[in-house]
Structure 1
Amino acid sequence: FFSYTATLASSSTTPAAQMLEVSGSQNVLPGTHTIVIQQLAQAMRIGSGAAIQTAAGAPAATVSDPLGLAGSFQINGATVTVHASDSAADIARKINDLGVGVQASAIQVATGDVRLVIASTQTGAQGFQIGGVDLDAGGALAGLGLGAPASANAYQVLQQGQDAKVVIDGLTLTRASNTITDAIPGLTLDLKQADPATTITMTIGVDREALRASVQTFVDAYNEVADFLNAQFAFDEAKGTSGPLAGEAALHAIQSELADSLLRELPGLAPDRNSLVKIGIEPDEKGHLRINDSLFAKFLNDAPEAIREVFVASGSTSAAGLTFLTPAFQPASGSYTVQITQPALRADIVGTADLSAGVSASSTVTITETATGRVAQVDLTAGMTLQQVLDALNAEFARSYTEKHQLSQALTAGGAPATASTTFAALGLGVQPGDTIAIQGTDHYGRAITQTFTIADPNTTTLGDLLAAIESAYAHAITASLDASGHIVITDATSGESQLSLQLVAHNEG
């Protein structure tokens, strides 16, 4: 019941929509902002400083000709190994296969003029790092023309990586991306074109047409329900009967509740706007709702928030230390006293090593979550920058895993690990016809699982039948299998936080 629109106006002849696109969520607040886009973020791009030379000192004829060069170099901490049989195109593919945030291409500039072009896959001043003694003048790979800036065969900077720079309401912000989501709450700004001489005025206001349409949708839905209820109580004089649900007490209660809701006053709202009727949504003589255009328009134009407050639960707090976020399902209106005895605190771990100069030696970082015992491991390689270390850690933290459980007892048949085709008789456990196994546990969401598996004939009933029964008990939201050592293993079909568990209990009725 609340949508917003963003109106953009430019101070110059350059259209505002050509420079900026805006999108938002329900968390946006109305208001007016000024925006000046001083520069766009762009990705770092470099190329060979000259035509690539083969080991023989001649220019490479095409991108697919072997270069005869052999050596290695590093890019964003990863090593690229070049063999004598590699062409410029082969080297570009090897760089791309590393997946270290760069994209390489082999370009045929002209006959006898082949060059490598390497670009960061992300915008921002951070760019990427490339180097190695083999690349510099006199090195084994000097012919690639990708030496350090001070080297005689230095690479050519085709585009310098840079951050976006934008002035919002007089404050200068820099971001690595042209998509800015954290400057104004609820708004995403997509920067399209820089023009330091142009000021964009952005006005965020309530979308009144959308708000009225939402109210009309509610009115139409209410009337549809009212018509259905009225039809149940209608008396057919020709047949002498009423609707099939006319005698249902629950139906009478629903009809009464709907009628009462129109006049019900909501606590906490101003007396002139605390019910549907008072904001212009009124019943007619047939019990239908209609919009009183004159009254409703007054609120729509002058106080649209009053309309929303009637339909959407909201709240506020009197203390700065507590913020109302969102209501629970069907919350009871009223005032509540909240005493905060201890806020939740987020754990912080500070490393002892200074990584401002990058990672000096390869190592593995292991982080264990105390509450759950879950472990995250991240491999850091020598030469990685501080930003690359942060990216690697955050990528691991964001990764979603699928939960897997292995039962403790390994099943064997004749000394060998059991398989799905192994019969219960072959397990040598004295299983008898009619024995049952209770399948107990919880699914991904913590819901209880209980089912009984019966071994009709140990000579024909297999472990595969038990695995199928386990999957059926969990409504096929897991897979059940036997591993190479004969342990029963269940794997959640849904990744992420899981409450999956399994216990098998043999009752030996036979």
Structure 2
Amino acid sequence: MAGISFGGVGSGLDIAGIVNQLVAAERSGGDTRIARTLSQSNAQISALGNFRAAADSLQRQITELGKTGLTQFAATVQTDAPFTATATDKALAGRYAVTVQQQATAQSLRSGAFANADTVVGTGTLRIGVGDQSFDIEMIEGDNALSSIASAINRAADNPGVSARVVTADGGAHLILSSRNAGTDHTISVEPIGGDGGLESLRFTGAPGDGLSQIQAAQDAIIEIDGLTVTRGSNSFDDVLPGVNLRLTDQKPGTAFTVDVQADLDKTVSRLSGLVSAYNATMGIARDVTRYDAATGRAGALQGDATLRGASSAMRNAVSAEVTGNPLGVLSAIGFTTATNGNLTLDESKLRSALTENPNAVEQLLTGVGGLGERMTTVLDGYLGDSGRLAAKREGLDARIKMANNDQTQLDRRMDRVREGLERQFNALDTLVGQMSSTSDFLNAQLARLL
């Protein structure tokens, strides 16, 4: 029966130990080769992954630079202004005079005093309007206390924007209704319909005799920009000044405050410094994983690999290429210098001068047709795309790992057969030696009798 051995009974030999050593010697070469293949392939996959991660980061920065434009802007607001201003990349340089005549406010209503939050108000329907929308809540006997009304309003699925709460003061409990949005387009109305009449204490139509009183009126925000009036239903003005977001924080009627919008060289330089860092990180990984360090005797996981060497070369060409028709021509004209190891350095002083003297040419050099962004995108797409060179390289490594795993399976099966064969041979030998030993013992006994 295969796999069961009583070897050594007749001969005294450690057959199991001998077989194990012979099998181990037989398979050592194959195991070593397969382990080396798997180790190398996994190390190469890891190196590819590190390069891809760095290149992806570089590509994102290139893409973002193309979307938002190179020039960044900053908005400076005069001290004590009743608003803030934030500039985007779409801003236009200029100075503006802004006056906040009034802030937008949300309407709030308050009921008269009830004994407490559990006081029963009445039955029927409350139709609550918010601007041009409305919703109904039904109040029934046993679930029509002041607190129940507030809860029903807040949990109504079709509530378009009113909040309710009960505030208990010295004089009793009050229902407070507040519009969630400022502006006259979000005013509140409350109309009781049917029931026992108790809900009339919550009516609000803006007419005398309403049950609810207004504690804050809804009003729109009104500002003046360079003498022109702008009205909005909120305290945000995002579409008045090009690329500038205004947020009202107070109101100071009749007093104008200046907003200066200028190009922010610090932001632009910082952005390009980040781009240089991302480029250098990508180049550094490609360099480290493909080189051989003679001083230490260490080789990169992808030593001599044509894929990453090709990527490095293409990226360097993208940086050094000239933009035809641009007065600046090449990146070195605005402070970008390539070192012998492929890394970029950025002369910030030279870049600032170029941005001040010829910002349009700088922008075209970096983000225009034939510029750095377009060239680098073409290179990175060729390597990072679903059918790019990195994907092809990874497929080859995956196939190599799969083949090594298959080789391991075949080796294991072959070694099982070798083990079975050796066990049969040694067990047969053990049996023969046992038989010969028994015969010898018998002959020795017979000779002893004759003597």
CA deviation vs aligned residue, 1:173-214 (integer Å, no higher than 9, x gap): 111111233323433322111112332222222322232223
Tell me the residue number matched to 1:393.
Answer: none
Tell me the residue number matched to 2:273.
Answer: 216
Q: Does 1:295 align with 2:350?
A: yes
Unaligned runs of 5+ in 2: 1-69, 380-451
Task: Choose between structure 1 and 2: higher strand proportion.
Answer: 1
Q: Does 1:123 align with 2:182?
A: yes
Tell me the residue number matched to 2:213.
Answer: 156
AA partner of residue 101 (structure 1): G
CA deviation vs aligned residue, 1:21-48 (integer Å, no higher than 9, x gap): 2335433333333221111111111222
SS in 2 for 1:79: strand
Tell me the residue number matched to 2:161.
Answer: 101
Q: Give the whole-Å Cα distance in 2 for the aligned partners of 1:118 and 1:243.
A: 69
Tell me the residue number matched to 2:116.
Answer: 62
SS in 1 for 2:197: coil
Cα deviation for residue 235 of structure 1 reads 7.0
Give the alignment partner of residue 89 of structure 1, picking from 147, 157, 160: 147
C-alpha spacing 1:132/1:329, structure 2 compared with 1 (3 Å) = farther
C-alpha spacing 1:94/1:233, structure 2 compared with 1 (3 Å) = closer
Tell me the residue number matched to 1:410.
Answer: none
Tell me the residue number matched to 2:424.
Answer: none
For the pair shown, the structure with the greater C-alpha radius of gyration is: 2
Cα deviation for residue 8 of structure 1 reads 0.9
C-alpha spacing 1:221/1:148, structure 2 compared with 1 (3 Å) = closer
Tell me the residue number matched to 2:74.
Answer: 5
The answer on whether the counterparts of 1:115 and 1:144 sit within 8 Å (CA) in structure 2 is no
Give the alignment partner of residue 276 of structure 1, picking from 310, 331, 340: 331
Of 89-98 and 244-253, deviating more is: 244-253
The answer on whether the counterparts of 2:189 and 2:204 sit within 8 Å (CA) in structure 1 is no
AA partner of residue 79 (structure 1): D
Q: Give the whole-Å Cα distance in 1 for the aligned partners of 2:342 and 2:102.
A: 60
CA deviation vs aligned residue, 1:254-279 (integer Å, no higher than 9, x gap): 4443443343112353x2x2321121
Structure of higher RCO (CA pairs closer than 8 Å, 6+ residues apart): 2
Instruction: After TM superposition, list the pairs within 5 Å mapping 1:332-351 onto structure 2.
Output: none
AA partner of residue 91 (structure 2): V
Task: Choose between structure 1 and 2: higher helix proportion.
Answer: 2
Q: Does 1:75 align with 2:144?
A: no
Tell me the residue number matched to 2:421.
Answer: none
Cα deviation for residue 75 of structure 1 reads 1.0
Instruction: After TM superposition, list the pairs within 5 Å mapping 1:78-477 onto structure 2.
Output: 78-85=135-142, 86-98=144-156, 99-111=159-171, 113-126=172-185, 127-132=187-192, 140-141=197-198, 144=201, 146=203, 148-226=205-283, 232=290, 236=294, 247-251=304-308, 253-269=310-326, 271=327, 273-284=328-339, 287-313=342-368, 330=377
CA deviation vs aligned residue, 1:148-171 (integer Å, no higher than 9, x gap): 444435431111111111122332
CA deviation vs aligned residue, 1:414-438 (integer Å, no higher than 9, x gap): xxxxxxxxxxxxxxxxxxxxxxxxx
Aligned residues: 299
C-alpha spacing 1:236/1:96, structure 2 compared with 1 (3 Å) = closer
CA deviation vs aligned residue, 1:223-265 (integer Å, no higher than 9, x gap): 45555566645673896x9877564444554444344334311
C-alpha spacing 1:132/1:229, structure 2 compared with 1 (3 Å) = closer
Q: Give the whole-Å Cα distance in 2 for the aligned partners of 1:79 and 1:245.
A: 70
Tell me the residue number matched to 1:38.
Answer: 101
CA deviation vs aligned residue, 1:365-401 (integer Å, no higher than 9, x gap): xxxxxxxxxxxxxxxxxxxxxxxxxxxxxxxxxxxxx
Q: Give the whole-Å Cα distance in 1 for the aligned partners of 2:364 and 2:190.
A: 57
TM-score by length of 2: 0.56
Cα deviation for residue 311 of structure 1 reads 2.3
The answer on whether the counterparts of 1:45 and 1:157 sit within 8 Å (CA) in structure 2 is yes
